[in-house]
Structure 1
Amino acid sequence: MILVTAATGQLGKLTIKALLEAGTEPSRIIAGVRNPEKAQGLKALGVQVRPLDYSQPETIKSALQGVERLLLISGTNFGQRVQEHQNVIEAAKKADVKLLAYTSILNAGEMMLAGEHKGTEAVLKASGVPYVLLRNGWYNENYLSSIQQAAATGKVFGAAGEGRISSAARSEYAEAAAQVLLTDGHENQTYELGGSNNFTLAELAAEIAHQTGKEVSYHNLPAQEYEALLVQFGLPAGYAHALADSDTGIARGELFTERDDLTRLIGHATTPISETVRQALEVVPQS
């Protein structure tokens, strides 16, 4: 039995899709969800749906009954994630789970978003549960709104300097998770997962210019100015701070990798950012 947590989230749903496309019997898949009412589509596929809330250990214990392999998708309750993840890890140990895969962040560096991932990794390694660290890089989809905005304004904003980004499509990280859950030989491994291609934000601006036929430039800002601009655009202050901090991490090389772990796991090259630009521009009226 395979349990996928946060199964109604984007990565969770894509992982279950990848498991099914790999030929996994739906009855072998358990979708752990906070709100089962939102999982009717998964239930219709024959997937088992069980309540699972990271902050409620009793739901975790029930959801893990009969589970041998577990994908712990990192939570979104920032500031409390290490404790919530620890609740799952401790329950997995008691349930004798044979493999726990955790979605961490590429390189687990110094950016603010990496802190709770590093804390969770330490808890998992100390637990004695056989683990796999899936250190996911940025999703191509993270740039959809920036691409669309740049097509309209001719400007890409950021604080990433000349830092390179090894991103891939979200579905490709889901494919990798599914492969780890379905195959052997991954125990106590750390995979640095990044795309086959990489780019700077200046190169992203150039690609948008190429595909639109318009002048598009990258404006590199100090982190504080970029954060203030994001707030001006309407983002919550905490989210704006995290994005600006992440860009400074990109400038330090924290979201770049030369390792081919992702392509080896999924067996094909990843989606280049140029394809994501094309998809984003399909829904933007071109003048």
Structure 2
Amino acid sequence: MSIVVTGATGHLGRLVIAELLARGVAPAGIAAAVRDTGKAADLAASGVELRVADYDRPETLKAAFAAGDRVLLVSGNEVGRRIPQHAAAIDAAAEAGVALLAYTGVLGGPAADFVLADEHKATEEHILASGLPYVFLRNGWYTEVYTANLPAVLEHGAVIGNAGDGRLASAARADYAAAAAVVLTGEGHENRAYELSGDTSWSFPDYAAVIAELSGREVAYHDVSPEERQEILTGVGVPADFAAVLVDVDQAIGRGLLAGTSGELARLIGRPTTPLRETVAAELAALQG
């Protein structure tokens, strides 16, 4: 039996594996499921088993899972293609007879009415139909989704969105990775759904103010219409379809759908979630070299 982490060379997957190792799981008891083993040479060097798992090549998935494995299915990053990709992985896991399938979905689950949630909801339905013991890790937003854009924010002195004064309760990727590790190594989580989010919600005006304070620069939030935001995003090269998804997410934030602070993430990991300010400070320090 192994703990299998799909998407293991991605941001979240790597953090999950690091957390498992920190919790005392032997490297030989962890399998990193990846498309390209060349990108996982460091994981192999640490003693972690590598398994090829390409969502677009179902034949590779048959060898990615084994009876008794506890699997973390990290959602794919190809919006618009994830339903068949995830279905192929779920079917392979069911055929193999894995002991547990944990899935990184989206905060709100069936109640999430924005476009980006549709594929997650369909994936949860497929998991339920598979009959596998499951855990739904309904992750809220990663703070790093926003701090990754700090260079552009600092260059223009502006955070731009169409969420109005809507709030979101984000947390650091490491927080969500820790929650996944708890579920994969613990007991009593089967057939449960966890609504995971940060302890405190914040608005984009709050975010701009934190950046301004910590950077010493003038930064303000500019709220624009959905149509204006779409034009801005496509103007900097974001494909129109994906730009529409981002605009839709901000509208969901404006409706309060990502503001929930259930406390479940902090309870799972046994500590407070990482504050917005801390993640912004870390990214600014990294930018300064």
Shared fold (TM-score greater than 0.5)? yes
- Give structure 1 stretches of 5+ with no counterpart: none
After superposition, the C-alpha distances for 1:227-261 in whole angstroms (9 at most, x for unaligned) are: 21122233232332221111111111121212011
Identity of aligned residues (%): 46
After superposition, the C-alpha distances for 1:151-171 in whole angstroms (9 at most, x for unaligned) are: 333221101111111111111
Q: What code does the residue aligned with 2:246 have?
A: L
TM-align CA RMSD: 1.5
Match in the other structure for 2:3: 2
Shift of 1:67: 4.3
Shift of 1:12: 0.7
Match in the other structure for 1:143: 146
Match in the other structure for 2:197: 194
Shift of 1:283: 4.6
Cα distance change on mapping 1:210 and 1:92 into 2, 3 Å: same
Q: What code does the residue aligned with 1:131 have?
A: Y
The answer to whether the 8 A contact 2:66-2:97 is kept is no
After superposition, the C-alpha distances for 1:85-131 in whole angstroms (9 at most, x for unaligned) are: 11111222222111100000111311111010000011111211011
Shift of 1:11: 0.7
Alpha-carbon distance between aligned partners in 2 of 1:157 and 1:164, rounded to the nearest angstrom:
14
- Match of 2:168, SS state, is coil
Alpha-carbon distance between aligned partners in 2 of 1:40 and 1:231, rounded to the nearest angstrom:
36
- Match of 2:122, SS state, is helix
Alpha-carbon distance between aligned partners in 1 of 2:153 and 2:131, rounded to the nearest angstrom:
48
Alpha-carbon distance between aligned partners in 1 of 2:53 and 2:152, rounded to the nearest angstrom:
37
- Match of 2:78, SS state, is coil
**Residue number among 137, 161, 165 corresponding to 1:134 in the alignment:** 137
Match in the other structure for 2:157: 154
Alpha-carbon distance between aligned partners in 1 of 2:224 and 2:253, rounded to the nearest angstrom:
13
Q: What code does the residue aligned with 1:22 have?
A: R
Alpha-carbon distance between aligned partners in 2 of 1:213 and 1:77, rounded to the nearest angstrom:
37
Q: What code does the residue aligned with 1:129 have?
A: L
Cα distance change on mapping 1:77 and 1:215 into 2, 3 Å: closer
The answer to whether the 8 A contact 2:66-2:98 is kept is no
Shift of 1:284: 4.9
Cα distance change on mapping 1:40 and 1:212 into 2, 3 Å: closer
Establish whether residue 280 from structure 1 lines up as the match of residue 260 from structure 2.
no
Match in the other structure for 1:233: 236
Instruction: Report how many residues are paired.
Output: 285
Match in the other structure for 1:61: 62
Match in the other structure for 1:163: 166
Match in the other structure for 1:116: 119
After superposition, the C-alpha distances for 1:45-83 in whole angstroms (9 at most, x for unaligned) are: 100001111122221111112442100011123222112
Establish whether residue 30 from structure 1 lines up as the match of residue 20 from structure 2.
no
Q: Please give the TM-score of this superposition, normalised by the length of structure 2.
A: 0.94
Q: Please give the TM-score of this superposition, normalised by the length of structure 1.
A: 0.94
The answer to whether the 8 A contact 2:107-2:138 is kept is yes
Which stretch shifts more, 238-247 or 146-155? 146-155
Which stretch shifts more, 237-246 or 143-152? 143-152
Match in the other structure for 1:182: 185
Cα distance change on mapping 1:214 and 1:39 into 2, 3 Å: closer
Establish whether residue 248 from structure 1 lines up as the match of residue 248 from structure 2.
no
- Match of 1:63, SS state, is coil
Establish whether residue 75 from structure 1 lines up as the match of residue 73 from structure 2.
no
The answer to whether the 8 A contact 1:5-1:71 is kept is yes
Shift of 1:205: 1.1
Shift of 1:145: 3.9
Match in the other structure for 2:96: 95
Shift of 1:216: 2.4
- Match of 2:79, SS state, is coil
The answer to whether the 8 A contact 1:3-1:67 is kept is no
Q: What code does the residue aligned with 2:93 have?
A: A
